Structure 1
Amino acid sequence: MHTLHRYLSLLHHPNAADLIVLAGIVAVVASVLFLLGWSRPTTIFSIGIALEAFSGNWRDIPLPLPLDRVAFLVALLVLFARGTAAASDRRIVFRPIHFLLLAIAVYVLLNGLNAGTIEHSYGFYSWLDRLGAIPFLMFTLGPIIFGNQRQRHVLLVAMVVLGAYLGFTALAEGAKVTALVFPRYIENQALGITQGRARGPFLASDAMGLALFDCAALAIVAAVTWTSRRARWVAWAVAAVDLVGIFFTLTRSIWLGAIVALLVTMGAQPRLRRRLPHVAAAGVVVVFVFLVAVPGLITHVDHRLTYANSVYDRYNTYTAAIRAMEAHPIFGIGWQTFETVGQQYFRQSGTYPLTGLGLEVHDVFLSHLAEIGIPAACLWLLALLTSVGRAVLQRGPRELEPWRYALLAMFIVFVSVATFSPLSYALPNLMIWMMAGIVARDRLSVPRAPAGVFVVANRSPGGLVLFPGGTALEVAP
């Protein structure tokens, strides 16, 4: 029991000695996995991504170690120990976007060190996930660890399984069948936020809704790409359950984002455009059935549609963030300091009550403007729009077309939630960056050349030279 508490304290207050202990634990786990012959980075990364749903709540299960972090560390160890050539038939081509992401991550790390927040768990893990260092890493590695159809199949299996679990949990929470909700901490009303709504292992309905939509989008990708008829039906069923589960999150930004995403994505494809009225009608029927069948649900929905306190929170945090940005335009007030330092920028309005003290800014971009300054926040936004925008707008190989449309839908919901919430959760941030990397595979990576073979490929705007063994070097036009 003492060891368990030691590990839990290690996660919240990491220091040099603790990190050495953690490295030792990871090394042991990696050794065991090697002995078992389970050493494919794609598989370990996929499992780690699915386990991100429990990120930040492992101690409530309870488990002594964050299994998602362990999985990522083990996958990286395996990847670098065996070499990327053993894990993938593609090689990364470093573009300016990679150096921009590295610069942003380093700057925010230094900003947080100066503010005194990085050495605390909330600042460090926000840097990893919310900014985030791990999503940037998965954007870089995505084109090679999920570079071919077999590797993407592994990821789809993991996301369909996660989607089945999240969808079932959302339905159980929405129908108030608490005996079916697992792990039990989800039903602990003393933990997390948005009690009374479907919030899943995240303990937050906005994160749950975004994860449900992401899983639904990838389940649809699985349904249109898998060859087994039985597997396709399972994927369609998971997608349907996840989309229904979004309703039970009772989160307006999720509802808005999901509706717009479905309209835009289906409208962009001629084959699906004519089915849009049928999908809309089916959605209305399903919502009506649940409103009638689930006791008290219509009251909860009406309460969410007319609830004004959260609107006041947003008004107050938005205006406080703008004042903080105006006072510190270059470097901001410090990474992850708005909940404390930002309180001095709140003012009583003459038209609505003063609420939101101690909360994060309910807008991701405004939060970055206030905390890290205008230059860094604008570079982060530029990196996001460039990464996702180029992946969505530039056509790639036919095998990645379903992924491109999935990314478009996921990004619309991501923007909707990021505009009205802090979006501090690991999985939703990781998914959008990783998907951008996967869809832009042919721009961010190249096939490896056989040993001893010289290949020169001309690509606009620059040429690309592959040397023996597949080493890639981008050259000026």
Structure 2
Amino acid sequence: MEFLGLLFALAAGVWGIYLAHRVSLQLLALVVLIVGTVFGPVFFAINGPIQFSIDRILWFVMLGLFALRSLRDRTRPIELNRMDWLIVAFVGWLLLSMVISDAPQAGPEPLARWIFYALLPMGMYIVARFARLSRFELRVVQRSFIGLGIYLGLTALAEKAELKSLVFPRFIIDPEYIEFLGRGRGPLLNPTGNGFLLSIGIAAMLLAFQHRSRFARLGYGIAMLAAAGGVFATLTRSVWIAAIAAVSLTQFNRISRGIRIWAVVTSLVLAGGLAIGFGDQILNLKRDKNLSASAAADSIALRPMLAVIAWEMFKERPLTGVGYGHYFAFNQQYAKATEWEMPLRTATSYHQHNVLLSYLVDTGLIGAGLWIIMAIGWGMKAWQISRSSSACPEAQNIGLLMIATLSSYLLNGMFQDVSIIPMLNMYLFYFAGLTVAVDSVDGRLPERNYADRRRAVVDRRAAGAMEMKTVSSR
């Protein structure tokens, strides 16, 4: 085994040297996201003080290559703007609030949460923001999300129909992971996370649909139907709302003002009609395979109780919060409040069901304020790029995909703490990095990046010339 391990290490080293000069960091970041989604820790993991999976190993490779190229390419220094400093301040504050917390039982969980849901996403942002970027790579990003959306949509439909032979990887339908079983939970094993990615995929398909031939449009139309079926198969109300909003917002600036008004009014009327006519059926919708319809309806009653607990905790520590990741170390003592006629203790075993309340309770007004400013800044930059006349079409599409990503994240976040769903922060920060990178050059990008390849060729020629000179001197 030691000999095989040595051979593997040598082969990996050789390929690493080869790829270090040729691989696109932007596309490597995309690989990290897709591998982390489909082949994450549930598929394969090395357990220890910190759990390592394939995507996390690739993340370290990606950051290592980025650092190597940044040191080598002195002609392109990294210059931070306000959005960059803002994300550094946010992630830094999460760490500081975790460290200064006076939680009675800290344990390793807060640190692991910070690493996986803050530090790793910031690494994705850094690479997407500062690595070389071209129109070709942006097209690959869009097509990759189209492919991911088709895969997730068909898989969710197969899950819902219990067509087990069509579901891959197999752990998706493994009854050992019982939570959300029977819904389109996908490889993230979470219907909200699955719906979040499907919303981005549908938006990418719709953008491609508008610029293709009639035959290609037929294919994209079928793909959108498959992804929309996957959204329905999640059986998650927030996912349905978020998917509709994400698709609508990506098309908002491409239709006339009159049609926009009619579309908004029609949507409000339809939503009101559905709420009046089918409100009870929607609230009592049976979703999980092992969860009754009444139990599903009872879960809605948790939200006001969680909001009350959050309010009580916020009143005592409004500025700094209880500390990032320390919610469960404090929430039980605040569930004893007697002025509320609610069984608050029944909600103490659940995470907050709102991402803003989660940040507010854990990190106070400082952390929640930084997060809100970041979200507003990302949204404004995405909107500006999508409407910029100087930006290339690929850059405009990235702005629109960021709008879809951010809207889906926020709308789902109104009903769940999406910041702790695996991979969601990774995708959000990745698109944020691309958006800020595109905005920093006003959407003007080269067709392809040949800089790294040219440097590798020059280095090889220089090395060969030096070798010839040495031989001739002999």
TM-score normalised according to structure 1 size: 0.73
TM-superposed CA distance for 1:304, in Å, is: 6.3
Give the Cα–Cα distance (whole angstroms) in 2 for the partners of residues 236 and 72 of structure 1. 34
Superposed displacement of residue 255, structure 1: 1.0
Give the corresponding residue for 1:434.
Answer: 430
Match of 1:355 among 329, 342, 346: 346
Give, in angstroms, the shift of residue 361 of structure 1.
0.7
Once the two structures are overlaid, the 10-residue window that deviates more, 365-374 or 406-415, is 406-415
Q: Deviations over 1:176-209 (max 9, x none)?
A: 2122222222222332632221111111111111
The reply to whether residue 365 of structure 1 matches residue 351 of structure 2 is no
**Contact 2:207/2:397, CA 8 A, preserved across alignment:** yes
Name the counterpart of 1:285: none
Alignment match of 1:41 (pick from 13, 25, 32)? 25
Corresponding residue pairs, total = 406
Does the C-alpha gap of structure 1 residues 181 and 359 become closer, same or farther in structure 2, counting only changes over 3 Å? same
Cα gap change, 1:159 to 1:31, in 2 (>3 Å): farther
Which sits farther off after the overlay, 108-117 or 373-382?
108-117
Amino acid of the structure 1 residue aligned with 2:68: A
> How do 1:124-135 and structure 2 match up within 5 A?
124-130=111-117, 132-135=118-121
1:247 maps to 2:232:
yes
Does structure 1 conserve the Cα–Cα contact (< 8 Å) formed by 2:238 and 2:411?
Answer: yes
Counterparts of 2:9 and 2:108 in 1: how far apart (Å)? 19
Q: 2:135 & 2:12 partners in 1: Cα distance? A: 28
For residue 200 of structure 1, give the secondary structure of its aligned residue in structure 2.
coil
Per the TM alignment, residue 82 of structure 1 is displaced from its structure 2 partner at its CA by: 2.9
Number of the residue aligned with 2:149: 163
What amino acid maps onto 1:218 in structure 2? A
Give the match for residue 331 of structure 1: 320
After TM superposition, the structure 1 = structure 2 runs for residues 127-276 of structure 1, keeping only pairs within 5 Å, are: 127-130=114-117, 132-145=118-131, 147-191=133-177, 193-224=179-210, 236-270=221-255
Q: CA deviation at 1:420?
A: 0.7
Percent identity (aligned): 22
What's the offset of the Cα at 1:234? 5.3
Give TM-score scaled by structure 2 length.
0.73
State the Cα distance separating 1:86 from its structure 2 match: 6.6
Distance 1:116 1:76, change over 3 A: farther
User: Would the aligned equivalents of 1:46 and 1:154 in 2 still touch at CA under 8 Å?
Assistant: no
Change (3 A) 1:26 1:236: farther
Structure 1 segment 257-406 matched on structure 2, within 5 A: 257-270=242-255, 300=287, 307-347=296-336, 349-350=340-341, 354-393=345-384, 395-396=387-388, 397-399=391-393, 400-406=395-401
Aligned to 1:421: 416
1: distance between equivalents of 2:85 and 2:66? 21
Equivalent position of 1:6 in the other structure: none
Q: Which runs of 5+ in 2 are unaligned?
A: 2-7, 47-51, 268-284, 447-474
RMSD of aligned Cα (Å):
4.1
Query: Gaps spanning 5+ residues in structure 1: where?
Result: 2-24, 281-297, 450-477
Q: Counterparts of 1:184 and 1:163 in 2: how far apart (Å)?
A: 18
Secondary structure, aligned partner of 2:196? helix
Alpha-carbon distance between aligned partners in 2 of 1:121 and 1:229, rounded to the nearest angstrom: 55
Tell me if the contact between 2:43 and 2:171 (Cα under 8 Å) persists in the aligned partners.
yes
Q: Does 1:32 align with 2:15?
A: yes
**Aligned mates of 2:141, 2:76 — CA distance in 1:** 17
| CA spacing shift, 1:165–1:443, aligned 2, 3 Å | closer
* Larger RCO, structure (CA 8 Å, separation 6 or more): 2
1:50 is the counterpart of 2:34: yes
Using a 3 Å threshold, how does the CA distance of structure 1 residues 236 and 438 change in structure 2: closer, same or farther?
farther
The one-letter code of the counterpart of 1:83 is S
CA contact (8 A) 2:26 2:133 kept: no
Query: Cα gap change, 1:108/1:329 in structure 2, threshold over 3 Å: closer, same or farther?
Result: same
1:252-272 CA-to-partner distances (Å, cap 9, x unmatched) read 111112223334443432279
Distance 1:217 1:110 in 2: 37
Instruction: Tell me: CA distance 1:203–1:299, structure 2 relative to 1, closer, same or farther (3 Å).
Output: closer
**CA–CA distance in 1 between the matches of 2:202 and 2:16?**
31
Cα offset, 1:445, TM superposition: 5.0
Q: How does 1:106-121 map to 2 (within 5 A)?
A: 106-115=92-101
Aligned AA (2:319): I
- TM-fit CA distance, 1:111: 2.1
- CA distance change for structure 1 residues 332 and 276 in 2, over 3 Å: closer, same or farther? closer
Q: Residue 196 of structure 1: SS of its match in structure 2? A: coil
Q: Give the counterpart letter for 1:331 in structure 2.
A: T
Is contact 1:30–1:78 with CA below 8 Å preserved after alignment? no
Secondary structure class of the residue paired with 1:198: coil
Q: Is the Cα contact below 8 Å between 2:203 and 2:250 reproduced in 1?
A: no
